[in-house]
Structure 1
Amino acid sequence: MLKYTRLIIGVPFCFTLMVIWFAWSAFRASPQIAAENLRGAGLSISAAIEQLVVADASLRSLARYTTPDIAYFALIDRQGIVRFHTNPLLIDHPYTGAIQNRLPDGISEQREQLGTGEEVYILRTMIHAGSDKYLLILALHTYRADQVIRRAQTGITVVSALTVALWGGTILLFYMIRREERHQREMRRQDELARLGEMGAVMAHEIRNPLAGIKGFAQMIETVASIEQACTYADKIVSQSIRMEALVNDLLAFARVDHTEKQNADLTQIIIDCVELLRPEAADHNVTIVVDAPQHITANVTEDRIVQMLLNLIKNGIQSMPDGGEVTVAMRQNRDTAVVSVRDNGTGISQERLPHIFDPFWTSKAKGTGLGLALCRKVAEEHGGTITVSSRENVGTKFVVTLPAVK
């Protein structure tokens, strides 16, 4: 969950930073871009006006010159008389402003507000027409150039709205994931409680039966007349006690959380040792155990847990053949995986029972605890492996365990 949480938060955060940086950079640069656009337009128009003045000393042709950007323009001679103005009523009148024969860098520029309330860009520059020199005052509309600023402001607004929507969606998604996680956790808790109740009922049943036998045989010992009969009842008490002990041991092995440090071990030697331990029991059942492990394979395992798993699997094979047969324990290495198989030619498992054989306390045996195969699956998963089963009735059963092998 922590990994997905970091991803859910990290991606929108990086995206937000990138978009905000882009929008803010565009917004910061927009006034300069607008000013440069106005300056470029003003210089181009002033150059065109200067060419018209040079071509027509009477300045009449200026009356026909216009562009959408021009608010007005005027030419003032050295005596301060307006020689041309886009407003004809101002021509030949004295110019009320100050005339500078020298302008810094040849031009001056500023923004001014007209009487109509419109803000315009004012460019002042000197133009030359032969021996005459005029002060050009050019006023340009700013709304076209200021579109850059307005677009940047709109971009900031849109980015802000998208950012709010993105983070709103992120928070909603995070909340839904957390709610789903709590729901799943509660479902797991309910399943665990249900399983604990089922396990408790099975355990009570399994323990109650031998306890009843122990109690009954103990009461019968009190009434026996001979020592031989008392010994018979005592043997039965011991047998029931051993059955209870086996149940408790299986339960402890299943419930155990393995914290033992894993070590490199020879799986082939572990298989051989397990087979040798079970050969006497196999001989009693007229069962032959065959080992097919041509190469030594090393794995990083907890050895006693692997031994528990293999003993359970081989014992299952022996017990599935009441009339005798053969159990084959084979091992191969598939790249970085050790594959151990235990195959018998016993009675097999029905297809109805096959999906349940790894469930705790589920068993088809009259005296089984139902924890053996559940323990096998737990041991395999503890080592990062798997266990699978295939079976056919009256043909046999094959368990396959995969474990990570050491290169």
Structure 2
Amino acid sequence: MADDEARDLHERNRALDEQLKRLVRTEHRLYKSQRELGQQLRRVDAVNRLALDAAKTNEPAAIAGSAFEMLFSLFPYEQGLAVVTDDGGRSYPLAVSAAPGCEHDGEAGLARLGRQDLPDIEVPEAPVIVARTGDAPDELRPLLGLLDRVFASPEAQVAEGSALILPLQTQPDRRRGALVLRRLGRAHSYHEVLPKDGDAPYLMLVARQVAAALGKTELLISLRRSYDELEAAQRELVNQARLAAIGELAAVVAHEVRNPLGAIFNALSALNRVATGRDGNDEPVTQLLGILKEEAHRLERIVSDLIDFSRPAPSSKRDLALAPIAAEALDSAAADAEAREVKLELDADEGLRAVVDEHLLRRALLNLVDNATQATKRGGVVRVRVARDDEGAFVEVADEGHGIPDDDLGRIFEPFYTTRATGTGLGLAVVRRFADSHGGTIDVSSAPERGSVFTIRLEVADTRPQSSGCRALGRGRAS
């Protein structure tokens, strides 16, 4: 009887033990399921946060930084580098990052690497999980080697570490670059889990989301650039139409004024002869005639400015040396400069040539030199330089005046805009029209109390050896 009870108790204990084992296994499976579910929820939440962060910025580097932050929160990688590829197939570094708590000099390394083409960079078609960096395939070593150029890490730890490469692509045949992550060869804590082959679909989802965000940014930047170019073209079109209307008006005014102006000069000459031939004290009459003559000449200069401004684009361009034209312009301005006690200096490349309209170039330079002479204090120097650089030929006129206020810099080339009590405000407009008609540019730089520098840029006609000569005109003329 006792044996039967013992056997029954043993059977019950064994059944209870089996139930307990099944319960433990079930609880373990439930724990793993909950852990996997939590992991999946964290990953889904991470992807959502990445999408929200990417939607808040149009900066590619910021998008890459958000991607690294997300990946560092999911996997125990420590270093990250983003490499992007443009439409021409050229790759260059975009951003660098490191996991929280990991000291690094990645930013300095990225600065050393610079925005340069990265040759021999092969981006894989799918995410690549490298269990040991030292065993990475040869085709991936150049990409992984970029991390060595950016981060200063011990070689032994690099070789024993692990890595992850995510291709940035929105289409199978369109790869935009890669995210490269690396962990150095240090021991993992119990909760740190590197990605496995089964995580490839999720990693590909992340990579495509980052690529799509970068593509959106690229599209927005391109669209913004197109809008800016369109706006600039519209402004230029409106400006050209406005200038054409002003030019037509100026031509009409100049034509209508020049004829009576000729009659005024003839009458002045006759009056001057009559006053000279009369006896007695006619000094007041002579002074009045002198005033009339001076004002008539000023009116004639205004008409000349109007005609120069309204003249259509030149058709008499020739291959000419620039130095003689500049010298003639300075000769024309020498008398006025000497009266103002301002010295004119010319430093010219005698062999420099360009295809220009001689009259218009001389007139443009004369306008610049006249303005510089009026701006320069007595005893100062106006320097004219004719030279070339990597961008082509240029003529530079520098004065020693008070400089141009910032509020005026944007308007000085507008027709009829002037800050002087006298003058038409057409001199610089004529200079700009000359530069535009020759496919060149006119630039100005100015600093308070340090003067202004106007630079006309032209295309070089040929490349003769440079020989520089200096000459001085006006007050203090060099012998």
Q: What TM-score, normalized to structure 2?
A: 0.40
- Using structure 1 for the length normalisation, give the TM-score: 0.46
Larger Rg: 1
